[in-house]
Amino acid sequence: MGVHNVRALEGPEDRAEFLHRLMQDVRALEYMLDQGLFETAPLRIGAEQELFLVDGEYMPDPRAQELLAKLDDVHFTTEIGKFNLEINLDPVELGKNCLGKVKEDLEAHIRKAQQAASELGSKLILTGILPTLTQAHTRSEYLTPVERYGILNKAARNARGSDFQIHIQGLDEVTISHDSVLLEACNTSFQIHLQTTPAEFVSMLNWANAISAPVLAVSVNSPLLFGKELWQETRLALFTQSVDVRASSHLLNDSQARVSFDNGWHTGSVADVFKDQIARFKAILTADLGISSFGLLEEGQIPKLKALCLHNGTVYKWNRPCFGVGDGKPHLRIECRYIPSGPTIVDEVANLAFWIGLMKGMPADMQNIHEMMDFKDVKTNFLAAARYGLSAPMKWDGKVWTARNLVSEVMLPWAKKGLLSLGVAVQEADLYLAIIQKRIESHNGAEWTTKSYRHLLKTKKRHEANQLLTELMFSNQEKGSPIGEWGLPESKSSSVPFLRVRHVMNTDTFTLDEYDPIEMAVHIMKWKNINHLPIVHGDRLLLGMISSTDLAKISETPDNLVRPVREIMKRVLVSIEADKSAEEAKRLMDEFGIHSLPVVEDGKLIGIITSKDL
């Protein structure tokens, strides 16, 4: 989606023209491969860093465009959410000093961005999913007002023909029906690009798939979404479902989600890899494509294969094949997309070192990995890593390993061999791979986040725990120590100066339907020792409230117990929003002589705050 002048495909003529150009690009790709025009040396690595912008209360800050204007730097760009931004690092030649150069470049850009953000009263956070995100931040008002995002959202919605359905089950469960692709903005990643030669491209792409599970297992950093414990890398499930353009009636057929792991080994040519994607995934966007690819070749120029790259940019494989042109030379890359942002810069460089080392350290007897392993085992390993991280069971070379043992005993030695083959100094290779080993011995990002969150919930309510967790992430990120050295948080109050309703409200609320009998209300209040019950309809649409005072006299008459609660509930309600101050909640209770307030968002109940909470 790097192309800016995109538009949705409209009508058969528009589609036919784009597909014709797409076929021309495939022919041009094959011609350049046949003529040996691709760059084979030097090879390079690159990276894209996605970040969250947060305000002084560690909540998502929708001023990324204002920050970008202040930065005025081509390395920084927008993302789909107003609270996201992306840094595109300059490519670095693969070799002796490549890790140090990536780290230095990343530190310089993030330092520059943090300084600019501080002038706005904001901060930047490196994490896969921001703990303080709420469903309110996925409303259309948070979509970055850049034309291509609106077009992508509309095209995806039209292709699907209905709302996007999110269902992720882990320790907790999240089920959401959403009308846009903006849930994608809940995810940020650290994407790594490795340039390869045409001769090794297909073999390297297969190897990238094979090693994905152990690399992911040590990198997981996104166990929470909206305060719910889900997968160790919830980001993968959320991103997959948030842009799934398949109609629900087609989900059981053989069509593949646009965000996906491959379905099998690649056995053909470089061009066959791209042909497979064109055959599997319907084109949804077009753009001003300019002179045809063969027209440019006839003029002695290297075409950028704009149609091919645009289509490729709407297919989000976790290991994505990429074509590009740099300094007038075409090249091929493999993009590793599954590694999350954070927890620190040094952790990200360690992830990069581990992945690059493994890619370049492929043992000679693994060159034909597609003949040695069942691809279903590879995919099962990957999904297990996303769900369970370092605790995942994995099949490798005829044995069943834990991810911890597989990484420590097999993968790390291979990664070191690969780094040394590039000329990376032994001390530097050991430094970064020791960071990976430390996670195996202590905890990775997801394990630290989960343990810290549970610890905070012992004394804090959910939203305050999420805020404190984010504050701790930022503090540790600024110190720069890798995640394996982070300790559990101490019990303390947040440094944030304002106490809001969301910090003290109860989200584990008991409710009744309007037609439930009064007897049910009496028993729930007694069993759960509560004095207020919201009455809701359907998806928690708030209709009214009843209190223990309302029930005190009416429940004394047995005949009243079978009456529906709708006959006695209070319909004219005083309510409050989660972002209001706790002082405002207290003022409303005093003013109206009440002891509880339903907390609502778009008319739907999300919690309740009582005088006891205050």
pLDDT of residue 114: 98
pLDDT of residue 99: 97
Same domain? For 29 and 155 the reply is: yes
Same domain? For 558 and 409 the reply is: no
In the 8-state DSSP scheme, what is residue 597? E
Instruction: Please provide the average confidence, as pLDDT, over all residues in the chain.
Output: 93
Same domain? For 281 and 379 the reply is: yes
Same domain? For 241 and 96 the reply is: yes
517 — pLDDT class (breaks 50, 70, 90): very high
pLDDT of residue 492: 62
Q: Has residue 525 got a pLDDT over 90?
A: yes
pLDDT of residue 159: 79
Same domain? For 158 and 67 the reply is: yes
580 — pLDDT class (breaks 50, 70, 90): very high
How far is residue 72's CA from residue 74's CA, in Å, rounded to a whole number?
7
The CATH number of residue 523's host domain is 3.10.580.10
How far is residue 127's CA from residue 9's CA, in Å, rounded to a whole number?
35
Indicate the number of domains in the chain.
2
pLDDT of residue 64: 98
pLDDT of residue 613: 85
Per DSSP, the three-state class of 150 is helix
Same domain? For 144 and 261 the reply is: yes
Q: Has residue 497 got a pLDDT over 80?
A: no
What's the whole-number mean pLDDT along residues 159-187?
90
| Of the candidates 605, 596, 611, the residue with the CA atom closest to the CA atom of residue 512 | 605
Last-in-domain residue among 415, 441, 467:
441
Task: Look at 467-471, 490-494, 563-567, 604-608 and tell me which has the smallest mean pLDDT.
Answer: 490-494
Last-in-domain residue among 423, 441, 459:
441
| Of the candidates 49, 188, 214, 46, the residue with the CA atom closest to the CA atom of residue 130 | 188
With b for 16 or more beta-carbon neighbours within 10 A and e for fewer, the 355-376 pattern comes to bbbbbbbbeeebeebbeebebe
224 — pLDDT class (breaks 50, 70, 90): very high
Name the CA radius of gyration of the chain, rounded.
Answer: 27
| Of the candidates 555, 597, 564, the residue with the CA atom closest to the CA atom of residue 580 | 597
What's the whole-number mean pLDDT along residues 338-358?
98
Q: Is 430 domain-assigned?
A: yes
Residue 241: how many other CB atoms lie within 10 Å = 19
Same domain? For 395 and 522 the reply is: no
Same domain? For 401 and 508 the reply is: no
Same domain? For 63 and 147 the reply is: yes
φ/ψ of residue 104, rounded to 5: -60, -45
0.85 surpassed by pTM? yes
Q: Give percent of the chain above pLDDT 90.
A: 81
pLDDT in tens, 280-304: 999 989 999 999 998 999 999 999 9
Q: Is 151 domain-assigned?
A: yes
pLDDT in tens, 357-416: 999 999 999 989 999 999 999 999 999 999 999 999 999 999 999 999 999 999 999 999
Last-in-domain residue among 402, 425, 441:
441
How far is residue 188's CA from residue 174's CA, in Å, rounded to a whole number?
19
Q: Is 39 domain-assigned?
A: yes
Q: Is 470 domain-assigned?
A: no
Q: Give percent of the chain above pLDDT 70.
A: 96
Task: Please answer whether residues 150 and 495 qualify as being in contact, where contact means their C-beta atoms are separated by less than 8 angstroms.
Answer: no
Residue 611: how many other CB atoms lie within 10 Å = 14
Q: Is 179 domain-assigned?
A: yes
How far is residue 166's CA from residue 242's CA, in Å, rounded to a whole number?
7
610 beta partners: 596
The CATH number of residue 312's host domain is 3.30.590.20
354, burial (CB in 10 Å: exposed 0-12, middle 13-18, buried 19+): buried
251 — pLDDT class (breaks 50, 70, 90): very low
pLDDT of residue 489: 86
Same domain? For 412 and 540 the reply is: no
What's the whole-number mean pLDDT along residues 55-82?
97
Domain, as residue range, for 527? 502-610
State CA 536 to chain mean position distance: 32
pLDDT of residue 157: 81
Per DSSP, the three-state class of 46 is strand
Per DSSP, the three-state class of 541 is strand
Residue with the bigger pLDDT between 579 and 337: it is: 337
How far is residue 102's CA from residue 193's CA, in Å, rounded to a whole number?
12
pLDDT of residue 422: 96
Beta strands in 302-387 (DSSP E): 316-317, 319-326, 329-336
pLDDT in tens, 425-448: 999 999 999 999 999 999 999 999
Q: Is 314 domain-assigned?
A: yes
pLDDT in tens, 356-372: 999 999 999 998 999 99
For every residue of 475-533, DSSP letters joined together read: HHHHHT--GGGPPPPPS---S-S--BHHHH-B-S---EETTSBHHHHHHHHHHHT-SEE
pLDDT of residue 252: 42
Q: Is 97 domain-assigned?
A: yes
Same domain? For 280 and 369 the reply is: yes
Q: Has residue 158 got a pLDDT over 90?
A: no
In the 8-state DSSP scheme, what is residue 570? B
pLDDT of residue 77: 97
pLDDT of residue 247: 61
Same domain? For 411 and 528 the reply is: no
What's the whole-number mean pLDDT along residues 230-248?
86
According to the 3-state scheme, what is the secondary structure of 333-344? EEEECCCECCCC
Residue 527: how many other CB atoms lie within 10 Å = 9
pLDDT of residue 10: 87
